[in-house]
Structure 1
Amino acid sequence: MTSSEKSGPIDAASLADAEEGMSSQRNLTRWQKVLLFFLGLTYTSFHLLVLNVIPMETWAFRIVHVAGALVIGFAIVAACVPPTDPRKRRWMLELLPMVLTVGLALYALATMAIALYMKLRLGYDAYSLPEWIFQTFSWALLASVVLGIVFAWLFKPRSDRIGWYDWSLMAASISVCGYLLSNLDVLQFRMGVIPEQTDFWVATAGILLILELTRRVAGMALVVIAGIFILYGFVGPWLPGVLEHSGYDADRFITYIYTDNGILGPTTAVSSTYIVLFIAFAAFLQASKVGDYFVNFAFAAAGRARGGPAKVAVFASGLMGMINGTSAGNVVATGSLTIPLMKRVGYKPRSAGAIEAAASTGGQIMPPVMGAGAFIMAEVTGIPYTDLIIAALIPALLYFASVYFMVDMEAAKTGMKGLPSKELPQIGKLLRQVYLFAPIIILIGALFMGYSVIRAGTVALMSAVVVSWLTPFRLGLFGSARALELAARMSIQLIAVCACAGIIVGVIGLTGVGLRFSSLLLGVAENSQLLALLFAMCISVLLGMGMPTTAAYAVAASVVAPGLIQMGVAPLVAHFFVFYFAVISAITPPVALAAYAGAAIAGSEPMRTSVTAFKIGLAAFIVPFIFFYHPALLMEGEWTEIAQSFATAMIGVFMLAAAAQGWFFGLAGRVVRVLLFVGALMAISGDLITDLVGLGLAVVLFLWQRKVTRGKPQPDPVTSDT
């Protein structure tokens, strides 16, 4: 243990102050840093004004929303990781590509400015503008986008300034926005139906920009999937069976994707309203250090218990993960503190990374915010948001209880102890600051008082500013401006992901493949409903592998949920079913992003860490099947039925954790573990008879374990200095 570890209590406020980072993210300097600050400040302020004060036409708002994210995203995220050792720029080699690319981008921007001037000042309409303007504009725009993407790879970027190729992409993003806004009145009628050639080239350029930014901020997985869906739109006539469709002309297909049926559709609707708003809320909590209070409180409450840091990870990651919006991002933020401490009290690196991954993933199903998935679900289903968070409560409690039992039993099995009291925050001092929970309480209260989600989020954001005045980190004018700029940075990844997911949703809607999958699911269900559920689970998990939660659910909701609804399942149950499996794909091997992030911090082998995270989050793979058959777990039914289901399910997840860890009031043998697993399934199932059988089996196994383990030596405790 280092000297720094021995001295003084843990200061979670300083150690946990980590944003989700990307290795290719730039740290801009000088005037570019100032420019980015004002861009981010303006971007978030624009959203808050439109959402609360100055309404804006829906298409126009979403177009500006996407374009602003593209501009900021290309400014702060490089095409690849900048070299560690700065090398001389080969300006003579870059001169011709720079002049060509930037020249084309500036020409497109200039012609768009001319078109806007002629429309606004001279009264031209979209059809009376000179033909050469949009013809030359579209070719210059598309060429600058393609060249900018290619040269961003060829010429290695610097980490402290924006490359000329990214300036061209930023200019192209503004040009796409300008064209769409200036022709909005006619584009809403002709895009995807009878588009003009310029519409096609501009939409193509816009899609390429979105795919490139998504690749930079979220990796290749989602881009590859989007590319496959785009390709599917053209090769459908040559595909067999359920995948076959008649095919589409390129201009109609591409422009359809850039309408409110695709990129500007439900996923961007959510990112432009709820996601930006709640990420701004999280940014204000972070800037005022109120968010760190949650982590400190978790340490003070659970740090002394056996395996204390693991239990802290469960609580803190649940609280922060529901606001953070990404499982892997939450692992990076809170795991940088909890994982080293878990290793310190005796957890193996693999277990430490897996526990943090499982807890962070659970934050996506924790009400009231639930990452961003609940907002998309409300948008897609039309179910009131308050109904969704009420329905999500019991499954979320069961999941986190299961994870807690898992870590507690592993600590008991290995004889771990918690952290010394002198190294933990003082609970008395934190209780005197309990008012720092006010923003979360106000958010929940406003929702249940009937306020809209947007108004409740805005009130909670304002309360975070007010609460900060009671702390040493008071947010004044500059502090609030810094929080608004931070919110823009934090939201870029989710906005890009939602726009890219909109491409997939648009293809699914145009080709009708979602309906054909629904028919396939119905055909499977005729033989076995359980088989159809397993099929739906596999599709949801596969779609979510390597993708952020919001994109995974958006796609699964388009492909899988309609089939379940046609089977007679209530929309609430069907969407929660696919949502849960889309979320836990983050800890499902072989592509488990949250587990891989935990492994990187813990220094463990990624695949083994993902398998361990899968085991720890096992309850999340079982509970969706249970609330499919017994919706009482989603608060559907009489309160007596709900109470019975909750109580027995809690006992069931305890038995499930015991079976997975091999510890049930002492070491459990193989036969006991198998019986515990069977009893867990019966107790969770919800029927009175199976509940009684499960509880009876639990009592018998408890008495057996007490008899077998009586007099046996307990595991040697692992001290906190290990």
Structure 2
Amino acid sequence: MGQAPGTASPDDHGHETEVGEVSTIARPLRGPLRHAVFAIGVVTAVTHIYLNTFGTMAELRFAALHFGLFGLMCALLYPLFPARTRATRRVVLGVDVVLGVLCLLTTAYLFLFEDAFYDRGMSFDTWDWIVSGVALLLAMEFARRSSGWLIPILIVLSLSYAILWGPWVDGVFHFSGLSAEVMMMRTYFTGDGLYGPIARISYSYVAMFILFGAFLVRSGAGDFIIDLARCAAGRFVGGPGLVAVFGSGLMGSISGSAVANTMSTGVITIPLMKKAGYPPRFAAGVEAAASTGGQIMPPIMGAGAFIMANYTLVPYVDIVALSVLPALIYFLSVAAFVRVEAIRQGLTAQTAEDGKTLRQVMKEGWHFLLPIGVLIVLLIQGFTPTYAAGISMGAVVVASWLSPNRMGPRAILEALAEGARIATTMAILLVAVGVVVAVIATTGVGNTFSLMINDWAGGQLWILLILIAIASLVLGMGLPVTAAYAVLAPLSAPAINDLLMGDHIVQAIAAGTVPEPMAMTVGMLLPDLAGTLGQPMPLAEAQQVWAQISALPGDFTSGFAGQLVDATTVSMTLLAAHLIIFWLSQDSNVTPPVCLTAFAAGAIAGTKPMATGFTAWKIAKGLYIVPVLFAYTALVTGSWAEQLEIFVFAVLGVYAFAGTFQGCLESPLRWYERLATGIATALLLWPHGTLAIHLTGAAVLAAMVALSWRRKGAAAG
């Protein structure tokens, strides 16, 4: 487990490897090149740690420096194209060195000539055109190397739309157009494009937490996590499968990469599950589904949580806190499939082969919990996540001195270099995605798209969720889930938020809480509603009233909503909309035809990729169930008591769902028992269900469990 999270190391022969979530061809690193990449990685990591923790630099310049350093790393790590002969490889390496240096020079140009550009009244001269064009082309080329063709294609389409063909488009997507000079200025010289908010998230939160994860794994925390999972879950029925769920969840909380999570924990858990008697395809599916959950598992949640904090203005700590219960629902849903399958296969509990007890594991590795504790305490105390991550890296080093695997200067340098190498793909990707996001904001296509899909959905939230799930799956076929979320969120979050806010407004109208001045204003604008607002009314009538009010101009509608719904609910509703998109964006990891996490697990298990993908997709159904709960319940917007109630019934519901899907609870179910368990699933997970409905579902499930348990006891007797 000496490998840092986020990627599988490229071997010395340049084989195909997994980097982040995207399959790339890594250049073999030998001799001087290996030492050069190591040194550049250390410099890059130290620069980011210093500037994020103690130093200061203007955001635009830091973003440009971030791109320059990681652009050089990318040029050296991933070749222009695979070369077969030694001579060709040397030529390609020479070209890549030139491109990497050019990337650094575009950063230097911004540092040296930014003031001169503004002194000229933001008018481009020849060198401005050349350097900004080179920076854009390099971002596209490096994104192609590390993530495939989709991002460069999106950049070309978005910029050409804003400059060339937007005026020729009829209908809602008509855009009058901007000049090439304006778009290049926004792309290179302002905090909107390459060096915009997405790049700022990359150089701060993403880079720092990837480095923190690299320090943790270099210190040996990966071995501790697997041992802890074995001791905590290994002795239960289906224990090896539960180890995969538990271990992948813990590992994913520091890695933020589903494929890396699969490769690092799967090499241990998949053979364990196969040896215990699980079918190989099921073992691979469990690992893929559990590893995918690492992106939604606090405290780090991959890079998506940081982007979400930027989009919603909800503090990162609050997002993490509100994500704990949903993440537990997901992992418990995977664990339910594991247990039910173990019972179907007749597997029994096993003792740990290494004979370690939980007490022994904690005695040997308790110090690995200290850095995570430091991180959580600093976040709770109000320190910025970047500062907390920087201090926590130091805590990792200090904690390692309490173990035989002490981190000395060499180990620290290795962690720095490995962390920078891991961060390269995500850094380049997020910088490039920033261009697409900037065009979406500049042209207003995001709002147009939201109105369009809302119109397609006919105002029905469930149809809108299906459309977004399809869109996220299509985007996820060519992008890592973080990038898919970053692109999809500004397009579809407003549509979801409008419908969710509409529900809160309807409830307020039905309750008669409309202030009298606002009711009088509405009555003057809509005489049919005069005298009706401010009085309790049936929910159906309130929906009709809101339909009339929402047809008024947008400014008035927003003001009306602002007086009916408190600021906290508004903020949490927006967060719920983004969490829906974030969760649905994860499904590409386990949904055929492109499901890299399942393919990676299948490679370890020796199973067919597509069949493994379908198995993982079945086991990871929580990725669809939890977003429905976000949309239709108070899992995010409610009080802690409401959230806990939803959590308890949701956990029972996903267990019933697994039993229905597999036809087994504590023993195989007869057809009518399976039908009853399905009814219990619906009652427990019914979004608009009352407490009585949920309790009825729990009672039906309890009866089915009791019947299957009695049958199991009779068979054993």
TM-score category of the 2 structures, normalised to the smaller one: 0.7 to 0.9
CA drift at 1:273: 0.5
Q: Residue 194 of structure 2 aligns to a residue in which SS?
A: coil
* SS class of match (2:245): helix
Cα distance in 2 for partners of 1:209, 1:449 equals 41
1:127-160 C-alpha deviation (Å, 9 max, x unpaired): xxxxxxxxxxxxxxxxxxxxxxxxxxxx4x37xx
CA distance in 1, matches of 2:156, 2:41: 30
Question: How far apart, CA to CA, are the structure 2 residues paired with 1:314 and 1:460?
Answer: 26
Which of 85, 90, 93 matches 1:163? Answer: 93
2:30 maps to 1:29? yes
Are positions 1:453 and 2:382 aligned together?
no
1:278 aligns with 2:281: no
Shift of residue 203, structure 1, vs aligned partner: 2.4
- CA gap of 1:459–1:549, structure 2 versus 1, over 3 A, is same
AA matched with 1:330: N
> 452-461 or 164-173: which moved more?
452-461
Matched, 1:484 2:416: yes
Q: Taking structure 1 as reference, are residues 554 and 37 closer, same or farther at Cα in structure 2, changes over 3 Å only?
A: same
Give how far 1:449 is off: 2.1
What are the residue-to-residue correspondences of 1:18-167 with 2, within 5 Å? Answer: 19=8, 21=10, 22-23=16-17, 24-81=25-82, 83=84, 87=85, 89=87, 155=88, 157=89, 163-167=93-97
Partners of 1:465 and 1:671 in 2: how far apart? 58
In the alignment, does 2:175 pair up with 1:245? yes
Task: Answer whether contact 2:7 2:422 (CA < 8 A) is retained.
Answer: no
Which runs of structure 2 are paired with 1:505-544 in the superposition (5 Å)?
Answer: 505-524=437-456, 526-544=458-476
Partner of 1:395: 326
Q: State the match for 1:701 in structure 2.
A: 704
Structure 2 match to 1:553:
485
Q: Is this contact kept in 2: 1:318–1:362, CA < 8 A?
A: yes
Could you tell me which amino acid in structure 1 is paired with residue 618 of structure 2?
A: K
Q: Is the 8 A contact 1:180 1:187 kept in 2?
A: no
What is the distance in 1 between the residues matched to 2:3 and 2:259? 20
Please give the per-residue CA displacement for 1:52-102, whole angstroms capped at 9, x wherever unaligned.
22200110000000110010111122234454xxx452xxxxxxxxxxxxx
Equivalent residue for 1:414, pick from 332, 345, 364: 345
In structure 2, the CA distance between the partners of 1:199 and 1:437, relative to structure 1 (3 Å rule), is same
Deviation at 1:457, TM superposition (A): 1.3
Please give the alpha-carbon distance, in whole angstroms, between the structure 1 residues aligned to 2:410 and 2:487.
40
Whole-angstrom CA distance in 2 between matches of 1:531 and 1:14: 43
- State which of 311, 317, 329 in structure 2 corresponds to 1:386: 317
In 2, Cα distance between equivalents of 1:417 and 1:80? 51
What secondary structure, in the 3-state scheme, does the structure 1 residue paired with 2:598 have? helix
Structure 1 CA distance, aligned partners of 2:212 and 2:360? 25
Residue 606 of structure 1 is matched in structure 2 by 609
- Looking at structure 2, the residues matched to 253 and 673 of structure 1 have their Cα atoms a distance apart, in angstroms, of 59
CA distance in structure 2 between the partners assigned to 1:185 and 1:60 by the alignment: 12
Hey, what's the Cα distance between the residues in 2 that align with 1:351 and 1:361? 15
* RMSD value, Cα: 2.7
1:449-503 alpha-carbon deviations (Å, 9 max, x no partner)? 2222122212211110101111122112222122111111111011012112212
Give the AA of the match of 2:661.
A
2:620 equivalent among 617, 620, 644? 617
CA drift at 1:217:
2.1
Partner of 2:648: 647
In the TM superposition, what whole-angstrom CA distance separates every residue of 1:170-215 from its partner, at most 9, and x where no partner exists? 1211221122222223557999x85445333322221221222222
Identity of aligned residues (%): 33
Matched, 1:219 2:208: no
1:175 is aligned to 105
The verdict on how the C-alpha distance between 1:27 and 1:299 changes in structure 2, with shifts beyond 3 A counting, is farther
Q: Is the 8 A contact 2:4 2:214 kept in 1?
A: no
| Counterpart-to-counterpart distance in 1, 2:381 and 2:136 | 41
Q: 1-side partners of 2:209 and 2:178: how far apart?
A: 38
CA displacement, residues 229-256 of structure 1 (integer Å, 9 cap, x when unaligned): 3454433334454443234433433443
Structure 1 residue 515, shift from structure 2 partner: 0.6
The Cα offsets for residues 216-238 of structure 1, whole Å up to 9 and x where unpaired, read as 22233444444443454433334
Conserved in 2, the CA contact under 8 Å of 1:521 and 1:564?
Answer: no
Is the 1:546–1:593 Cα contact (8 Å) retained in structure 2? Answer: no
How far, CA to CA, are the matches of 1:533 and 1:496 in structure 2?
30
Native 8 Å contact 2:3 2:9 kept in 1: no
**Within 2, Cα distance between the matches of 1:305 and 1:220?**
46
Give the C-alpha shift of residue 590 in structure 1. 2.3
Deviations 1:79-126 (A, max 9, x none): 34454xxx452xxxxxxxxxxxxxxxxxxxxxxxxxxxxxxxxxxxxx
- 1:273-319 CA-to-partner distances (Å, cap 9, x unmatched) read 01111111111112221232112211232234333332222112111
1:260 aligns with 2:191: yes
Q: Which residue pairs with 1:587 in the alignment?
A: 590
Which of 572, 578, 583 matches 2:581?
578
**Secondary structure, in 3 states, of the residue corresponding to 1:55?**
coil
Pick one of 279, 296, 301 that aligns with 1:365.
296
CA distance in 2, matches of 1:531, 1:539: 12
Q: Which residue of 2 aligns with 1:690?
A: 693
| Matched length | 629
Q: 1:605 to 1:422 in 2, by over 3 A?
A: closer
Q: Distance in 1 between matches of 2:125 and 2:5?
A: 52
Distance 2:576 2:120 in 1: 37
